[in-house]
Structure 1
Amino acid sequence: MTQNSEILCIGSVLWDIIGRSASAMRQGSDVPGRITRLPGGVAMNIAMTLVRFGMTPTLLTAIGRDPEGDELVNACSRLGMVTDHIYRSQDLPTDRYMAVEGANGLIAAIADAHSLEAAGAKILRPLMHGPLGYENTPFQGPIALDGNLTLTLLEEIAQSPAFARADLRVAPASPGKAERLLPFLKHARATLYVNLEEAGILCQREFKDSESAAKGLLDRGAVRVLVTDGGNSATVGSADKILTQTPPSVLVTRVTGAGDTFMAAHIASEANGASSDEALSRALHAAATYVSGETPL
């Protein structure tokens, strides 16, 4: 692959509405802070990091034909993403995500991705019926796929001939949607990106660290996994190799999107020919820089 490799990002592209405070918070807290609205969603966060690493991602998602949707599509185009194949609905509003973060991390979040779920397989038409691919001539490049799609659609993707030659990189979007990755647990072309909690949900047990979680997923039939544990260790595992590293220690100023940044940086590093050790290291540094509030490159 070249630095400008084509990659598809399939999943949620929406508006992130994030409230952040420098104070530690608990249920019922009322504190000063800042509220921002930025393009977000798992697929979008991955795509933004891929652009910073020199790649040109193509978005497959659902965005409403409302003023918020027009603004969001224009923002994606300005950021360097291909938006020609986005499904634009007249009837469905543009999705949103709202989160509150304090000095002690994420306090609460609500993902309103109902339009993406309602659009279903319509977002995949360019991949199944052209011009990006067809069932008899499937897309052969990398695909970043997020778990905001419905379980039914994810099951269809796991079995579809249109994805049979793709390099699938799959993330659950949140622990609450981790079980949606089950169709890919034994998929021969899938790499799973999960955190410690999500690995535990998929394996129906608790793990003490990323290495034991990676081994647990491999024992369940996964071909390749990457498991993160916040500021603790991260592990990439496959049948022939287990590699664990510790991320740099930084002051955390934001958490929403950190996992997506890690995943995208890892994909881009491997696309550019990095070794397993180098790709994991670069991904951890990108995520650490992101949570510290700096630009990840």
Structure 2
Amino acid sequence: MKEKMITVIGSLNFDLIFKQKRLAVKGETYPADSMTTAGGGKGANQAVQCAKLGVATYLVGAVGRDVFGDYLLDGLTQYGVNTDYVKRVDETTGVGVVQALQDGTISATIAKGANDTVTRSQIDEVEPLLVKSSIVILQLETPVSVVEYAIRKAHEHGCYIILNAAPALELSPEALEKVNCLVVNEPEASFYCGAAIHDLDSAKEHCTKLLEQIGDLLIITLGRGGSLLYDGIHKLHVQAAEVEAIETTGAGDSYIGAFACKLLEGKSMAEAAAFASKAAGVTVTKIGAQPGMPTAVELQADCSV
């Protein structure tokens, strides 16, 4: 029996976020204006957004037996994410170093650490979660072979599968065809369809080729250009929220988590995407992905979906 719950299988990172005017050039030491720490990793971020919106959310992944791992698990628990299936391993916890520039754009370097230790046997151990979960969300910051295995297991148990194919990596056609909803940004979409996608027009031009590789729904996020949703019939463009971006870390993760929550409620793709854009718009106005993600109460006042 499926329950109103979401399982996220993915990465957890300890993020160090440097606010700075520009990037350092080769050989230069450049001072940042400030530094903030926050929980990160695409898997953890997406789980936090789901939990902040009041959905029962389980996270499957791994952290090290170190202070970074302690920090991440404590934060996730405070946000309401169930971490019973996050393993503690001998590898160091994943770390992300983020440079956030004045215009809100970011650059990041990530050390995989414990995220690279997630195994197929760990997926087998959480099979009872897949039996109960209505939606399973995955990304590609854990080993690809394990992600493909998890997709197959989730498919066997009738889960609606959302894959955020980030970073863009080769996936087997057999795994992709079991994905119900694929979420990619412009560079990732370009990688998977073999054509340059850099704006709404090019996304509309090439989205058919991408959808042929998966199940029901393709979402291409376009940054300030919003997002394009294509279900094989309708090409729906959803505007991004008009906000002054402070730091865009986690914007896509916020979108995915919020979108999944609305699907769980039975909302249409248009309603879910409008809500997701609103959530992502709030996230980018604050520093840090997880702290910046909105709760249901924050969004309820001026969002009708």
> Is 1:43 equivalent to 2:36 in the alignment?
no
Change beyond 3 A, Cα 1:77–1:233: closer
**Aligned residue pair count:** 285
Tell me the residue number matched to 1:190.
Answer: 180
Gaps of 5+ in 2: 287-291, 300-305
Q: Is the 8 A contact 2:139 2:147 kept in 1?
A: no
Q: Distance in 2 between matches of 1:238 and 1:254?
A: 31
Name the SS for the 2:223 alignment partner. Answer: coil
Change beyond 3 A, Cα 1:223–1:162: closer
Match of 1:249 among 239, 242, 262: 242
Higher relative contact order (CA 8 A, sep 6+): 2
Q: Is the 8 A contact 2:60 2:86 kept in 1?
A: yes
> Is 1:71 equivalent to 2:71 in the alignment?
yes
Tell me the residue number matched to 1:58.
Answer: 58
Name the SS for the 2:85 alignment partner. Answer: coil
Gaps of 5+ in 1: none
Tell me the residue number matched to 2:289.
Answer: none
The one-letter code of the counterpart of 1:192 is L
Q: Distance in 1 between matches of 2:186 and 2:155?
A: 31
> Is 1:93 equivalent to 2:92 in the alignment?
yes
Q: Is the 8 A contact 2:134 2:264 kept in 1?
A: no
Name the SS for the 2:100 alignment partner. Answer: strand
The one-letter code of the counterpart of 1:115 is A
Tell me the residue number matched to 1:111.
Answer: 110
Report the alpha carbon displacement of residue 201 of structure 1 after superposing the two structures with TM: 0.4
Q: Is the 8 A contact 1:211 1:234 kept in 2?
A: no
Q: Distance in 2 between matches of 1:178 and 1:78?
A: 32
Report the alpha carbon displacement of residue 171 of structure 1 after superposing the two structures with TM: 0.6
More off after superposition, 151-160 vs 43-52: 151-160
Report the alpha carbon displacement of residue 127 of structure 1 after superposing the two structures with TM: 2.1
Report the alpha carbon displacement of residue 244 of structure 1 after superposing the two structures with TM: 1.2
> Can you list the C-alpha shifts for 1:3-36, whole angstroms capped at 9, x where unaligned?
x921111100121111113x24463472442211
Name the SS for the 1:202 alignment partner. Answer: helix
Match of 2:191 among 198, 201, 207: 201
Root-mean-square deviation (Å) = 2.6
Given the two structures, how large is their TM-score scaled by the length of structure 1?
0.86
Tell me the residue number matched to 2:129.
Answer: 132
Change beyond 3 A, Cα 1:180–1:34: farther
Q: Is the 8 A contact 2:160 2:180 kept in 1?
A: yes
> Is 1:211 equivalent to 2:213 in the alignment?
no
